Structure 1
Amino acid sequence: MKKIKLGLLPQILIAIALGIAAGTVSPELPVRVFVTFNALFSQFLNFIIPLIIVGLVTPAIADIGKGAGKMLVATVLLAYGATLFSGFLSFGVGETFFPDLITRNIPLSEISEAKGVTPFFTVAIPEPLNVMTALVMAFTVGLGLAHLDTNYLKNACNDFKEIIVKTIQAVILPLLPIYIFGIFFNMTHSGQVFHVLAVFVKIIGIIFLLHIFLLIFQYCIAGMFVGKNPFRLLARMMPAYFTALGTQSSAATIPVTLKQTIQNGVNEGIAGFVIPLCATIHLSGSTMKIVACALALMMMQDIPYDFQMFAGFIFMLGVTMVAAPGVPGGAIMASLGILSSMLGFDENAQALMIALYIAMDSFGTACNVTGDGALALLIDKWFGNSKTNTSSTFPQN
């Protein structure tokens, strides 16, 4: 009999539903068990976050930095600019609409201690590096590796990346549904869950509309430059969009994105270069979700913030998520560090961020990969004369 394997999103949704159901009838003792588990898991997350940043960002910076071509520089800057635009658009829309939708003064810090419930015990696991040290180390070592003639240290960094990836896949992601169950179990026990869920539904609806607008905007800009109908260009990318909805993976969608991009008239060599690269560095959809969810949770808790704070956060977010799309849940995992260090999120807010993000993971991935086609159109417009060189250097997948 063939085993049915649930994806991460169904597991999270089931965990939320079970947590709510159990929390309405459960006595204090089971709640205390999960409070204990969540306390231990939170300590482990705090420990692993700097290592995730070093492990994922260092080899990615090394790989990007070793190229010297103008097309590489243009693609990286265009992808980063598109990611920044998405983040600031999300912040502006949230500032405009969220205050009328969000119930304020929901103290998430009290939810983890539902009605005074405390863990049986706690184990302090100090983080090996603080987040900013990890970021600076990743940049410094990554840029240094890009200019080394030997591969010894680079191979060690790639091996460390594999350790981090396997830790995420074998430890963090399997335990994540239990962690989310515990959070919603506690919230229901404390009577806060329905306020939080009401906010979740509203935020998810706004982000869905926002990512549709972003895709239309990206293809209108690309269509204006290449002189083609933007809606026909976007329509040809729909196979990539729906493939990403199903796979929830930018990397797994590359063959389809590449095929549809070529059908939009992009040179095969340029498409073969831009699409795999942008699957790693272009994160408009992911950035939009994280900024909107972070803003919503800060408003919910009445945490003070300003534009300057979020501007710095958005600039750093576009960098810390580099190479994260290759890891399931990598984008939100890589961003936990700066959510904590720059926005002051504690482990409870981080857990809700994870739940919100994964609930919309497929839409964010679809937005990322579909937008890659728009960026490829622009790069093809600017560098189309060098297509004979690119086609021989970057074979299709």
Structure 2
Amino acid sequence: MKNKILNSLLLWIVAAIALGIACSFFFPQWLARVFITFNGLFSNFLGFFVPVLIFSLITPAIAGLGKGAGKWLGITAGIAYTSTITSGLIAWGTAALLYPSLLDGRTLVTGVADPSEGGLAPYFEVEMPAPLEVMSALLLAFVVGIAMTAVKSDTMYRVVDELQGVIMKVVTSFIIPLLPLYIFGTFLGLGMNDSFGSTLAAFGTVLVLSVVMTLVIILVLYLVAGAVAGRNPFVALRNMAPAYFTALGTSSSAATIPVTYASTLKNKVDDNVAGFVVPLCATIHLAGSMMKITLYALAIVSMGGLGISNAQIFGFLLLLGIMMIAAPGVPGGAIMAAVGLLQANLGFDESMVSLMIAAYIVVDSFGTAANVTGDGAIALIVNRFAAGRIKGYTLEGARA
């Protein structure tokens, strides 16, 4: 199901980008301002909705750590978080090294409200105050989630689990369908304020870099896993090739689970360890997604002249790692979960957020393939210590 939705969404977003570029050459300002008005309303709604999304995703994710296979669940989640954060740090280092020359002279002009300056002003705005600040929602999710693991309240867990289902219905039935229109308005506005050319050229380069770096993070993960597990990392990586290419084609970690499991068994991982780690990491391990989001975000920070400090970036990465663990399993779910941090921690406006969403989804499959292949590396690490200690997680019918 996710694969079908993603393919449709990707097609619509590519069409929205192309149409936004084309229409910017001949649309009259009065008509373009209609779409700019919609973008303002949609962006304000996201600002209202994202804290609720964060609470509804993270609370059951943390509470769920108290269920299942005990300490091995926590250990595996910790390894997945470390992998995700490491990916973000590598992306940060890559951006610090390459962006000064790669994006030299590139600028990103957004939020220009005066039409005489080349920008577009909305016809009207509607304030939509959020019920919570992003950080308040995150802290509340931590407090409630951790307390639930101690109290072991099944009733409360069902409540937050059902709340997550309700919120995800809003995401899949309202937000996701409107994203192409939102992105159309963004590229229309960029084209009409004369900032599109430099933005497109710079982001094209960053997109290519992000694909290359997803391959780099896979290699790093297998070098570490090979050292810990005492296995040849290149042989282990070769055995995971079917999972990588399946994920590349499906853009779905969940749909790739049987192939990932079978590929992991080729690396002599215990059946039960593979059956436990692979489905779990398909949900919580998003190193490839972290790589893309960090590279895109820092590119916008560089081109937009936002002046973000290193301490802010580091804090953003730590919190983004948590968001990635709780990211919903829907097309663009990781970037949607990150929207609040982009706005609250890095000061992104609606145009910047829209660019992030478009860039993320256009090459989503490469991030998913990196996530899935990395799951096999985590399985090797966990197997080194947990082989024979985890029982009852064999995935029947998913063998090679």
Name 1:107's counterpart in structure 2.
Answer: 109
User: What does residue range 151-300 of structure 1 map to in structure 2 within 5 Å?
Assistant: 151-300=154-303
Q: Which amino acid aligns with 1:392?
A: G
Q: 1:358 aligns with which of 353, 357, 361?
A: 361
- d(CA) in 2 for partners of 1:112 and 1:176? 25
Q: Structure 2-normalised TM-score?
A: 0.93
- d(CA) in 1 for partners of 2:258 and 2:241? 13
- d(CA) in 1 for partners of 2:291 and 2:266? 28
- d(CA) in 1 for partners of 2:69 and 2:251? 32
- d(CA) in 1 for partners of 2:66 and 2:300? 36
User: What does residue range 51-200 of structure 1 map to in structure 2 within 5 Å?
Assistant: 51-66=52-67, 69-102=70-103, 103-110=105-112, 115-200=118-203
**Does structure 2 conserve the Cα–Cα contact (< 8 Å) formed by 1:272 and 1:391?**
no
- TM superposition shift of 1:34: 0.4
Q: Percent identity?
A: 45
**Does structure 1 conserve the Cα–Cα contact (< 8 Å) formed by 2:109 and 2:195?**
no
**Does structure 1 conserve the Cα–Cα contact (< 8 Å) formed by 2:106 and 2:198?**
no
Name 1:317's counterpart in structure 2.
Answer: 320
Structure 1: runs of 5+ lacking an equivalent: none
- d(CA) in 1 for partners of 2:296 and 2:122? 28
Relative to 1, partners in 2 of residues 1:220 and 1:362: Cα closer, same or farther, differing over 3 Å? same
Q: Which moved more, 1:319-328 or 1:200-209?
A: 319-328
SS of the aligned residue for 2:151 comes to: coil
> Following superposition, which runs of at least 4 residues in structure 1 exceed 6 angstroms of deviation?
111-114
- d(CA) in 1 for partners of 2:340 and 2:164? 17
Question: What is the number of residues matched between the two proteins?
Answer: 391
- TM superposition shift of 1:70: 3.2
- d(CA) in 2 for partners of 1:352 and 1:112? 21
SS of the aligned residue for 1:326 comes to: coil
- d(CA) in 2 for partners of 1:38 and 1:138? 29
- d(CA) in 1 for partners of 2:328 and 2:120? 37
- d(CA) in 2 for partners of 1:149 and 1:332? 31
Name 1:375's counterpart in structure 2.
Answer: 378
Name 1:41's counterpart in structure 2.
Answer: 42
- TM superposition shift of 1:112: 9.6
**Does structure 1 conserve the Cα–Cα contact (< 8 Å) formed by 2:87 and 2:290?**
yes
Relative to 1, partners in 2 of residues 1:260 and 1:325: Cα closer, same or farther, differing over 3 Å? farther
Q: Which amino acid aligns with 1:21?
A: A
SS of the aligned residue for 2:224 comes to: helix
- d(CA) in 2 for partners of 1:112 and 1:217? 48
SS of the aligned residue for 2:325 comes to: coil
- TM superposition shift of 1:35: 0.8
- State the Cα RMSD in Å: 1.9
Name 1:392's counterpart in structure 2.
Answer: 392
- d(CA) in 2 for partners of 1:125 and 1:189? 27
Relative to 1, partners in 2 of residues 1:385 and 1:313: Cα closer, same or farther, differing over 3 Å? same
- TM superposition shift of 1:325: 4.5
- d(CA) in 1 for partners of 2:152 and 2:328? 28
**Does structure 2 conserve the Cα–Cα contact (< 8 Å) formed by 1:244 and 1:366?**
yes
Q: Which moved more, 1:326-335 or 1:222-231?
A: 222-231
- d(CA) in 2 for partners of 1:225 and 1:298? 36
- d(CA) in 1 for partners of 2:240 and 2:326? 23
Q: Which amino acid aligns with 2:320?
A: L
- TM superposition shift of 1:225: 2.9
Structure 2: runs of 5+ lacking an equivalent: none
SS of the aligned residue for 2:122 comes to: coil
Q: Which amino acid aligns with 1:148?
A: V
